Amino acid sequence: MAGKIDILVRILAQTDGLFWPMRGPDWRARAGGIVLVRQRDYAAKGICWSSGGAGADRISAMRLLDDLEVNGLIRVYRSRGRAGVFVRLTDRAEHETRALSDLPTVQDSHALLRRVIDLDVNTPEHGRLASELWLGKLRDYVGDFADRLTLIQIEALPALARGWLDSRSDVHGRTYYAATDAGRAAAVLPASEPSLDLPAPDRAAMDLYDTETAGYREQLRAAGREGPEIGVLPLPVGLGLRKPRRRRTTEYVFC
């Protein structure tokens, strides 16, 4: 796989790995603090990027970043001192890289956002929430539920990274989604349209995405074990939300 495509897939994978909902292993590793800090960094600047090399290799990698930036595929934030380089994909690059990696589209995530808004119920202490079970049309965490909830999670990632959705979970990793104010504003507008000539899925890109996403999340867990237990708090285990009996109808305005 070409070096530039490799970088795009790695940026996407690390972004998605950062926005995975907190599951059981994350809570046990006390990763909530580092995840929160990195997500705030992403909102302001992007993913902290390391070339993974030194000397000539590092210079070559930085030139690739420069080329990607010039071609409108990434945005680069260069901070002074030790803070390093931060990167994020442009919308165009994200559409293309998700297609290469055989992932749900940004439009799929936009549709999921609307479903969250249609299904969420109000809680006195935690605001409006929609269980991942409702989104996956499941009754409980029994039987063959993992594949369906994994798809919901993957569909949610573009909306989570854009700040349209928040994810909350209990210590067992049972997850609820909430639309943010920005998400409710985005839900009444059409999703961004990708180009019609998206690339076909590529096995090397798919494998790299899977490896890089899981590896980045494990890095966050390792950092959480070494740091203080600061960050978001888990939801109560016995939240006891009931799915609404009747699906609400949301009216959307298309301009």
Per-domain residue ranges for the chain? 1-101+200-233, 106-193
- Please tell me the predicted confidence (pLDDT) of residue 24: 95
- Please tell me the predicted confidence (pLDDT) of residue 19: 98
Segments of the chain scoring below 70 in pLDDT? 1-2, 51-56, 81-83, 227-230, 240, 243-255
- Please tell me the predicted confidence (pLDDT) of residue 52: 62
- Please tell me the predicted confidence (pLDDT) of residue 196: 74
- Cross-strand pairs, 88: 75
| CA gap 85, 46 in Å, rounded | 9
User: Which listed CATH number (2.130.10.10, 3.90.550.10, 1.20.1260.10, 1.10.10.10) goes with 106-193?
Assistant: 1.10.10.10
CA dihedral sign, ordered 185, 180, 176, 34: positive
- Please tell me the predicted confidence (pLDDT) of residue 245: 56
| CA gap 202, 192 in Å, rounded | 23
Distances in Å between the Cα of 220 and the Cα atoms of 12, 159, 192, 235 are: 16, 21, 30, 20
CB neighbourhood size of 243 (10 A): 12
- Please tell me the predicted confidence (pLDDT) of residue 226: 74
| CA gap 36, 199 in Å, rounded | 33
| CA gap 15, 158 in Å, rounded | 9
